């Protein structure tokens, strides 16, 4: 079930990250530094997190196993249909703000550390 959310997330985040780095590099006429790459990672993570929030809501509800009335869910379609019927479509965006906030911080740290590590190892390995 986690792959249900993670694959679309990665398919959005990584291309946006690379696009951001390439665009920034072209704009400044040189490669981005680790801090700039971290900013690209933060923004790409925020966008991907926001766009995949509905999948995260469905995954979380399915993992909980029951709705607000204690009725067991029977798959993703059941979660989606009950959620839409009882709470409306905006419920698919529950938690979007904290999700975007934490994923943007995580993207900054992860991609910043990754690019910093590359900048340290590259001169050593040639």
The model's pTM is 0.88
pLDDT band, residue 3 (cuts 50/70/90) = confident
Average pLDDT over residues 46-54: 97
pLDDT at 124 over 90: no
More confident residue, 119 or 49: 49
pLDDT at 121 over 80: yes
pLDDT at 2 over 90: no
Average pLDDT over residues 40-63: 96
pLDDT at 1: 67
Percent of the chain whose predicted confidence (pLDDT) is above 70? 98
Core vs surface per residue 61-100: b (16+ CB within 10 A) or e: bbeeeebeeeeebeeeeebbebbeeeeeeeebebebeebb
Q: pLDDT tens digit string along 62-106?
A: 999 988 888 899 999 999 999 999 999 999 999 999 999 999 999
pLDDT at 4 over 70: yes
Token pair 């990754």 is found at: 114
Radius of gyration over every alpha carbon of the chain, rounded to an integer in angstroms: 19
């Amino acid at each position: 079930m986690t792959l249900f959310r993670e694959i679309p997330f990665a398919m959005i985040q990584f291309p946006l990250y690379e696009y951001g780095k390439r665009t920034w590099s072209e704009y400044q006429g040189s490669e981005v530094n680790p801090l700039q790459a971290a900013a690209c990672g933060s923004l790409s993570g925020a966008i991907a997190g926001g766009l995949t929030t509905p999948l995260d809501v469905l995954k979380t509800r399915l993992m909980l196993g029951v709705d607000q009335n204690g009725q067991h869910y029977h798959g993703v379609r059941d979660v989606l249909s009950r959620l839409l019927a009882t709470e409306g479509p905006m419920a698919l965006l529950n938690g979007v703000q904290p999700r975007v906030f934490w994923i943007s911080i995580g993207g900054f740290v992860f991609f910043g550390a990754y690019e910093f590590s590359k900048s340290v190892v590259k001169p050593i390995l040639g």
